[in-house]
Amino acid sequence: MSSSPHYDRRTEAQIKMVEAMARSQAALARLLEQLADISELSRHQSNLIHDNILSLTHYQQSLCHTVTGWRWREVKQGSAGMPWLNHQYPLDVSRIHRVEEE
């Protein structure tokens, strides 16, 4: 199976971008470890660092989506809603219990 040179260059560029993002994540992790060692940070400095890290994270997510089309799933806070059941198809609970007993 032959592949086009355009596809190969695009794939190569995507791989390089993902590798760059991985290096960026490693650098960010090192930065966070160094900051954890500094206990004298003021509240203002801590907020600035937090904001900068959020900006970097959003930038990396945008790059990742642009290059690969892949999106990170956003974690949602809160309580889950009630499950939706279609009453047109009632659940046969007795069948579930038989399977568990076997």
Q: What is the CA radius of gyration of the chain?
A: 24
57 assigned to some structural domain = yes
82 assigned to some structural domain = no
32 assigned to some structural domain = yes
Task: Please give the tally of structural domains in the chain.
Answer: 1
Is the pTM for the entire model greater than 0.85? no
Cα distances from 85 to residues 26, 38, 89, 91, in angstroms, run 45, 52, 8, 9
Contact 65, 71 (CB under 8 A): yes
Please determine, for residue 99, whether its predicted confidence score (pLDDT) is greater than 60: no
85 assigned to some structural domain = no
63 assigned to some structural domain = yes
76 assigned to some structural domain = no
pLDDT digits (tens, 9 = 90+) for 40-98: 667 787 778 888 888 888 888 888 788 777 777 777 788 888 777 777 776 666 665 55
